[in-house]
Structure 1
Amino acid sequence: MKKTIFLMMLLFLSAALPLTAFAQDEDDEDWDAYGDLELVDDSKVKRFAKPTIVGLSPTRFLSVSYDRQLPYDMNLSAAKFPASVNDGWGVDESAPISESGRVNFTGGLRFNSNIPVISKSSLVWQTGLNYMRIGYSISDVNAQPNASGLTDILDERGLNNLNWTNTFFVPISEENFFIFQGILDMSGDYGWGLQPFNTIRWSLAAVYAKRVSENKRWGLGVSRTYRVGNLNYVPVVMYDVTSADRKWGTEILFPARMHGRYNFSKNSLLLFGYELEGQSYRIDQFSVGNNSYEIRRGELRPRLEYQKQLSGPFWMNFQAGYRIDWTYNADELEGSREFFRGFFGNQRYGMVNNLSNTVYFNVGISFVTM
């Protein structure tokens, strides 16, 4: 286990990089150390784009929240081992239900951190460890003889996600900049402790952007992501705007999330829009030998989010929305090697599952910077 953790940290330090808002302080410079130097021509000073615009929701350095979904129905197919070209469920196949139940509880605590490591006008680097727990309480289970027993595993262990995130803001001029970001995820039921090193999943993104004014910035890029459970490669569009009166605005990082914003005051605001949430979760009991059997959990969450300052840098946030099941299917990865299905691939599934949609709530407290 120690060796696995050590290797994880080495990879964390080398892989880098959710696209987030950034904080930036002026360079700490001891000007007295230079003595009586001649004044520098201001026109020759290299200037860089600032990482933010006015009116954005505050950057969260540390946050703790609790997420809860209302009851819904879960329908699961039998699990195919191995889910090869001939043995799995086809992409367009209607797999019969072999196990079903009523999910009375889904949710748990979430911890996020986003700590500045370097904060200069020429470079901003922020990093953080994050953890998300999805616990389940499932009743009225109806299982056929070929049922996988996944409801028992979820009820007992739930799903967990531990990730390490780095974000780099790299300005190249007074208006233009790059954002590089990446995530390493260890996601699963953690049935037998920490997962094998080769089941860690990674995401990367790069965006070229322009800060048009203090009220507007936009960007275009590309991302390798697990936002909807399966590995996918998607274009990225960033578009953040604040109106002249600083009341209305947008905070868009399409397709991951899109929000409109209304600022009641500098101490409270409302976001309205959606976010995609998901990851690929290893199920230890189904992962035979070198293979990794993974639930591809993906959710679309239309929502409202109210944020308000409590005292000083401490803010509270409350979300209410609708959780729409994007995917809860499963894949068996031979040798734990990931593959790309995308929107048009015909690789077969290990399981074909369905969750009915439901209302969800999330409440949290954060330590922020404006």
Structure 2
Amino acid sequence: MSFTLTFRAQLGRKVAFIGFGGMLLTVPPAVAQVTPPASPTPVFPAPAPAPTDTLAADQVGRDQEFATPSVVNQGPSKGIIFHYERMPRFGVASTAKVANLPNYSADAEKNARLIFKGYVPMLNRPHLKLILGFNYEREEFEFHNAPTTYELYDNIEDKGLKTVGAQLAVIRPVNAVNWYIFRIKGELSGDYTSSELNVKDYLRVSSEFLYGWKRSPEFSWGVGVQFGYTFGRFSPYPAILYNRTFNSRWGLEAIFPARVAARYNVSPRSILTAGYTVDGYNYIIKLRDPLERRLGNGQLEPGIKPLRTLELRETEVKLRGRWERELYDFIWLGVEGGYRYNYAFDAFDRTNKDREKIIDSQFDWAPYASLEIFIVPTKGLLGLFGVGR
């Protein structure tokens, strides 16, 4: 009788312990230990792709994954951008490179840029993404004591410098590691008005190609070449892409040598960046009055036609800090400030084949500030356009 009570007491304690532990398994102390058979090494599925790798939720968990240049914690993609940038008064000094043109020195009261950009995903598949972009930009100058009697500056102050363009970007993930990007862009840049626009005269074409490796969700890099006007004149130059997230706060994003930025993620809705950018612009300027190129003795240069068109090459380096903050769901605010160093603002002969430099200009260092509102292409917005599947 006592044996039966003791056994029932032990059984009751064992059942009570299993009930408390839920999914836990125990071995009764009265039973001898038995070594379980060796189990095979567990195999875990590959990690799901980062949210920034795709906009299609149904791709998560597929056997085949595709690499992209983006990394975790990067800022959101921009669909539509409204940007305004302003610089206060700064000094301008221009040196003539032809004998019959005077030098010029004064202050620019204002330099401002208004920029509107939009990007539309035409195709968003795991193995291929096509993005169509368009842009409108207007750069304005106001000079002290206008008109300045210096034709170049009077010309661009009256009309402003405009750019209208379109581009197509192809992002091609090859496999789980490799990817490449191809982009081609055409722009109409200059001081034209709608009544005098000639596409052939103002057209500017640029392109780039990058091939890269996605080493992890936090690290992607690539190499390639860009053809464009970043350094004033049309030329090829190498490009190195380096996107890396070091931890939950810090990261680095770069397409060297054009731009480099350190990133600090304050929160999922707030991002700080600091670094530099190199921006290049190339404008066609139509002169109201033909300009003659003369030698030092005052004689016309032999075989040289009077100039009716100038090519303005502008290159600037910006040391900048930027803050991006989500305002509401898909609407973000960007605030930026820093200093601009103007490397060149030079005019070249566009009429004759020798492309001789006519005016060499230098702008003083100047602070600048910009305000930007941009719209993030969320899954819900893309669904309205039937994009993503």
Same-fold status (TM-score > 0.5): yes
Match of 1:139 among 133, 141, 144: 144
Which residue pairs with 1:199 in the alignment? Answer: 202
Which residue pairs with 1:262 in the alignment? Answer: 264
* Structure 1 residues 267 and 188, CA gap change in structure 2 (3 angstroms): same
Which residue pairs with 1:359 in the alignment? Answer: 367
Conserved in 2, the CA contact under 8 Å of 1:74 and 1:100? yes
How many angstroms apart in 1 are the aligned matches of 2:263 and 2:95? 41
Code of the residue aligned with 2:154 in structure 1: it is D
Which residue pairs with 1:350 in the alignment? Answer: 358
How many angstroms apart in 2 are the aligned matches of 1:23 and 1:137? 45
Code of the residue aligned with 2:129 in structure 1: it is V
Code of the residue aligned with 1:262 in structure 2: it is Y
State whether structure 2 residue 97 is matched by structure 1 residue 76. Answer: no
Conserved in 1, the CA contact under 8 Å of 2:69 and 2:221? no
Q: Which moved more, 1:265-274 or 1:155-164?
A: 155-164
Q: Which moved more, 1:196-205 or 1:175-184?
A: 196-205
Greater Rg over alpha carbons, structure:
2
Please show how residues 50-89 of structure 1 align to structure 2 within 5 Å.
50-78=68-96, 80=98
How many angstroms apart in 2 are the aligned matches of 1:157 and 1:167? 31
Conserved in 2, the CA contact under 8 Å of 1:65 and 1:110? yes
Which residue pairs with 1:161 in the alignment? Answer: 163
State whether structure 2 residue 336 is matched by structure 1 residue 331. Answer: no
* Structure 1 residues 160 and 233, CA gap change in structure 2 (3 angstroms): same
Conserved in 2, the CA contact under 8 Å of 1:112 and 1:131? yes
How many angstroms apart in 2 are the aligned matches of 1:287 and 1:233? 34
**CA positional deviation for 1:132:** 1.4
Q: Which moved more, 1:289-298 or 1:57-66?
A: 289-298
Which residue pairs with 1:24 in the alignment? Answer: 54
How many angstroms apart in 2 are the aligned matches of 1:53 and 1:196? 39
DSSP 3-state at the match of 2:153: helix
Conserved in 1, the CA contact under 8 Å of 2:201 and 2:284? no
* Structure 1 residues 60 and 287, CA gap change in structure 2 (3 angstroms): farther
Which residue pairs with 2:153 in the alignment? Answer: 151
Please report the TM-score for the alignment, with normalisation by the length of structure 2.
0.73
Code of the residue aligned with 1:153 in structure 2: it is N
Match of 2:234 among 228, 231, 249: 231
Give percent identity, aligned residues only. Answer: 24
Cα RMSD of the aligned pairs, angstroms, is 2.7
Q: Which moved more, 1:186-195 or 1:273-282?
A: 186-195
Conserved in 2, the CA contact under 8 Å of 1:68 and 1:108? yes
Which residue pairs with 2:216 in the alignment? Answer: 213
Which residue pairs with 1:83 in the alignment? Answer: none
Match of 2:109 among 92, 104, 113: 104
How many angstroms apart in 2 are the aligned matches of 1:163 and 1:292? 21
Please show how residues 280-319 of structure 1 align to structure 2 within 5 Å.
280-285=282-287, 292-319=309-336
Which residue pairs with 1:93 in the alignment? Answer: none
Conserved in 2, the CA contact under 8 Å of 1:24 and 1:51? no
* Structure 1 residues 325 and 228, CA gap change in structure 2 (3 angstroms): same
DSSP 3-state at the match of 1:57: coil
**CA positional deviation for 1:367:** 0.2
Conserved in 2, the CA contact under 8 Å of 1:99 and 1:142? no
Match of 1:241 among 221, 225, 244: 244
Code of the residue aligned with 1:252 in structure 2: it is A
DSSP 3-state at the match of 1:114: strand
**CA positional deviation for 1:356:** 1.2
DSSP 3-state at the match of 2:157: helix
Q: Which moved more, 1:282-291 or 1:106-115?
A: 282-291
* Structure 1 residues 287 and 150, CA gap change in structure 2 (3 angstroms): same
How many angstroms apart in 2 are the aligned matches of 1:112 and 1:50? 23
Which residue pairs with 2:381 in the alignment? Answer: none
Conserved in 2, the CA contact under 8 Å of 1:279 and 1:296? yes
**CA positional deviation for 1:311:** 0.4
Structure 1, gaps ≥5 residues long = 1-21, 30-41, 81-86, 89-95, 340-346
**CA positional deviation for 1:292:** 4.1
Code of the residue aligned with 2:153 in structure 1: it is T
Conserved in 2, the CA contact under 8 Å of 1:135 and 1:158? yes
Aligned residues: 309
Conserved in 1, the CA contact under 8 Å of 2:69 and 2:220? no
How many angstroms apart in 1 are the aligned matches of 2:165 and 2:97? 27
Conserved in 1, the CA contact under 8 Å of 2:111 and 2:139? yes
* Structure 1 residues 176 and 207, CA gap change in structure 2 (3 angstroms): same
Conserved in 1, the CA contact under 8 Å of 2:276 and 2:317? yes
Which residue pairs with 2:25 in the alignment? Answer: none
How many angstroms apart in 1 are the aligned matches of 2:231 and 2:142? 23
How many angstroms apart in 1 are the aligned matches of 2:142 and 2:53? 40
Code of the residue aligned with 2:158 in structure 1: it is E
**CA positional deviation for 1:102:** 1.1
Conserved in 2, the CA contact under 8 Å of 1:186 and 1:195? no
Conserved in 2, the CA contact under 8 Å of 1:23 and 1:116? no
